Amino acid sequence: MSTQIRLRNCAKTFADGTRALAPFDLTIEGGETIVLLGPSGCGKTTILRMIAGLEFSDAGGVISFDGDDVTRQSIEKRRVGMVFQSYALFPNMTVAENVAYGLKVHGVPGKERDARVDAMLEMMHIDMLADRRIDQLSGGQRQRVALARAIAVQPRVLLLDEPLTALDAKLRVRLRTEINALLRKLGITAVYVTHDQEEAMALGDRIVVMQKGEIAQIGTPREIYRKPQNPFVADFVGAANRMTGQMRDGRLHIGAHVFDAVDAFDPRHGAIIDQGAVELYFRADGLSPCDLDEAHFTGRVEAVSYLGERLRLTVSGIGPQAVTIDTHADDVIETGADVHCRVNADRLTVFPAVAAHS
Amino acid sequence: MSSVEHIKEGRSRPSFPLSLLPLVFGRATPGAGSPAILALLMLPGLIIVAAFFAIPMALVAMRVADGPDGLATYFVILTNERYLASLIQTLVMSGGVTVTALILCGICGLFLVRNRFAGRNVITALLTLPLSFPGTVVGFMVIMLAGRQGVIGSVTDALWGEKIVFAYEITGLFVGYLYFSIPRVILAVMASAEKLDPQLEEAARSLGAPTWRVVKDVILPGLMPGLVSSGAICFATAMGAFGTAFTLATDIDVLPMVIYTEFTRNANIAVAAALSIALGAMTWAVLAAVRVFVGNGATSGTGGGA
Ligand SMILES: Nc1ncnc2c1ncn2[C@@H]1O[C@H](COP(=O)(O)OP(=O)(O)O)[C@@H](O)[C@H]1O
Ligand SMILES: [Mg+2]
């Protein structure tokens, strides 16, 4: 059975006074893959190391595996598998010896050990590399060895800290798919740290978005993508366009235009935003180019980038900062031209304006 | 000659001395440079080896052959009890100094790299101070410590009325050489320890390895290149050092002292020469054996050869 992990009231202040994590609660269900997502320095690795037993929570925090309190237990006893961005393979051992190491430490007898190592190598498609030295492997091969080594001992939880960050884009996507399949097949509880939104969406059953040592939102990839709970999450998962408006009697006013069909539920206050200044966050699909007579706004094209299947315009004069709008790849648009566009109100995420909620 | 080759020949070929630079400083590529150029590059090294090593060695070896016993002198030194005892004593002491220095400095060096505390830099500086002392000064310090008027003697005299003095024997020499070796080994250990990847240790621990296993499987292999190279210097120095022994006493039977007495007092030049060759050969053999024994493991470790 896979292990459920509970962190209660955990926080971390380092010896030098750095407050890496404010007190937080987090429950990871057995067999679930949780992704910790956030910009560099927000505390993702610290949470992972706390679960591993490499860092201890400040006083008052409790960590339990399946109800067993492991708060003061050291990493050797916790049975966690770790996979690092730098691979951390033992350079003085071959591939097979690396994978066998944990089994050897646990006293698994030679014959059974060899069989399990072979099975692991085969599962990770590196059986032909068994006798290689580590410095003879590519980055992708190294990470496969690291994965095999970590899961060989059948850990209670697999902890992965940006395992694909050091690899090139194509390999990253391929290995990501494989890791996803592996995690489903093993049914193991996993915590995966990344700063890459796409990776988080692809792998996570749930995503924990973090901001400066605090949890900004926990949700399924769909919830995080479609219903970001605050401007930080919206911005971080790609809804980086911003406009300002007013809510009056439940209707959204932007400039002289009024929109009815907006989802103005504010999850943090658990209420519909009825009145007051609001900020609107949206992706490129929040505005679409149109003819002048249908347009809500007209802006000026500052830059054009060709994305293959579409053309992405950077447009000024609509929001407080430039916004991005997508148009057909075949359109011929020059920098400096005027562009007319409509607001797709159902694509807007509405937050109370900063002054109202900070 | 075809025109293509002609153009290639004519185009920006670096002038002769410049064309050597990549050979000296660049990465070795198989088949780079003609044998003649490579031989030219080897020349300075060959001259030095010949002038300072091969020729004197040959002269020394010839002195052995010219002696009253001829080449049998080698047999004499290996059967004469005094010479053999001195050989063994020197070997054992040098090995002992090396092992002790490696253990002490391994622990201290690792501790100094791993911990930040007030006075850390002062301790590092003090530990590496003897680097600049000649053997005579080290001998003098051993006498101050463990000689007849030394600190240890005075303290033990005051405590239980017995003066402990060990400066003028092999123990004193051992302490002196240890003192002499510590800075070299500790600097090498600290350099290797800085390069240890902490995540390797974390990975080992996550796999269930207790501390002693982490030390054995991760830390020691990582330190090994530094330990081997500094241990080799330490051993070779202890085998051949003379100043400290000479300062402490003239009757400590380590090999360099025996060579000195045979040469200057007894004018037994053939024996002195044979002992010199034996000293060199033995030191070389031990170092070569260590290299073969740990070399493979160490070089496949975190890089940096011995
Ligand atoms: N050992 C440490 N001592 C002091 N501060 C630390 C230590 N480790 C991490 N930090 C700080 O804690 C914060 C969170 O770090 P980390 O968890 O590594 O972030 P992330 O993995 O999200 O990039 C950062 O500000 C970092 O500088
Ligand atoms: Mg990190």
pLDDT at A130: 93
Q: Is B98 part of any domain?
A: yes
Q: What is the pLDDT of residues A140-149, one digit of tens each?
A: 999 999 999 9
**A105 interfaces chain B, CB cutoff of 8 Å:** yes
Report chain B residues whose CB lies below 8 A from the CB of A102: 207-208
Q: Which of B14, B31, B66 is the last residue of a domain?
A: B66
| Dihedral class, residue B254 (left if φ above 0, else alpha if ψ from -120 to 50, else beta) | beta
Please state the length of chain B: 306
Higher pLDDT, B18 or A174: A174
Same domain, B198 and B226: yes
Nearest to B208 among A84, A92, A153 (CB): A153
Highest mean pLDDT out of A32-41, A280-289, A306-315: A32-41
Domain's final residue, options B66, B87, B102? B66
Q: Cβ separation of A54 and B202 shorter than 8 Å?
A: yes
Q: What is the band of A275 on the pLDDT scale with cuts at 50, 70, 90?
A: confident
pLDDT for A358: 41
Please give the biggest Cα pair distance in chain A.
79
A232 within 8 A of A211, measured Cβ to Cβ: yes
Q: Is B302 on the interface with A (CB under 8 A)?
A: yes
- The reply to whether ligand 1 has any atom less than 6 angstroms from the CB of A208 is no
B198 close to A (CB below 8 A): no
What single DSSP character describes residue B41? H
Q: Is residue B303 domain-resident?
A: no
**Number of inter-chain CB pairs under 8 A, A vs B:** 66
Give the tens place of pLDDT for each residue, B259-268.
Answer: 888 888 888 8
CA of A194 to the centre of ligand 1 (A): 14
Across the range B105-109, mean pLDDT stands at 92
- Whether B12 and B38 map to the same domain: the answer is yes
Q: For the CA atoms of B141, B147, B150, B154, what is the dihedral angle to 10 degrees? A: 160
pLDDT at position B131 is 81
Quick one: B96 and B56 in the same domain? no
B113/B191 Cα distance (integer angstroms): 9
- Residue B304 included in any domain: no
Contacts of A300 (CB under 8 A, 6+ apart): A315, A316, A317, A336, A337, A338, A339
On whether residue B151 sits in a domain, the answer given is yes
Q: Are residues B62 and B80 in the same domain?
A: no
Same domain for B194 and B154, yes or no, is yes
Best mean pLDDT range from A144-153, A289-298, A323-332, B261-270: A144-153
Between CA A74 and CA B29 the distance in angstroms is 49
Task: Write out pLDDT tens, residues B193-220.
Answer: 999 999 999 999 999 999 999 999 999 9
For residues B152 and B214, state if they share a domain: yes
- Segment among B17-31, B106-120, B131-145 with least mean pLDDT: B17-31
A contact test, residue of B207, B218, B302 with most A CBs within 10 A: B207
Same-domain status, B6 and B94: no
Q: CA-CA distance, A267 to A333, in Å (whole number)? A: 40
Residues B119, B21 share a domain: no
State yes or no: pLDDT of B299 exceeds 50: no
Is any atom of ligand 1 closer than 6 Å to the C-beta of A194? no
Q: Are both B33 and B131 inside the same structural domain?
A: no
Q: Whose CA is nearest to atom 25 of ligand 1?
A: A41
Six token digits for residue A116: 């399990």
| B12-49 core/surface letters (b: 16 or more CB in 10 A; e: else) | eeeeeeeebeeeeeeeeeeeebeeeeeeeeeeeeeeee
Q: Are residues B39 and B176 in the same domain?
A: no
What does the pLDDT look like over A49-62, one tens digit per residue?
A: 999 999 999 999 99
* Arithmetic mean of pLDDT over chain A: 92
A148: Cβ below 6 Å to ligand 1? no
Over residues B240-268, the mean pLDDT reads 84
Between CA B273 and CA B62 the distance in angstroms is 9
Are residues B87 and B55 located together in one domain of the fold? no
B200 touches chain A (CB under 8 A): yes
Residue B79 lies in a domain: yes
What's the B117 CA to ligand 1 centre distance in angstroms? 21
Whether residue B265 lies inside any domain: the answer is yes
- In terms of Cα–Cα distance, which of A205, A190, A195, A189 is closest to A172? A195
Q: Do residues A313 and A301 make contact, with C-beta atoms less than 8 angstroms apart?
A: yes
Please state, rounded to an integer, the average pLDDT across all residues of chain B. 82
Q: Is B136 on the interface with A (CB under 8 A)?
A: no
Coil, strand or helix: which one is A64?
A: strand
| pLDDT (mean) for B112-132 | 86
Length of chain A (residues): 358
Q: Which domain holds residue B163?
A: 71-294
Say if residue A279's pLDDT is above 70: yes
Question: CB-hemisphere CA count at 13 Å for B69?
Answer: 14
Start-to-end CA distance of chain B, whole Å, equals 49
pLDDT score of A181: 94
Say whether pLDDT at B135 is over 90.
Answer: no
Residues B93 and B223 in one domain: yes
Domain count, chain B: 2
Residue B301 domain-assigned (yes or no): no
In a domain, B105, yes or no: yes
Ligand nearest to the CA of A21: 1
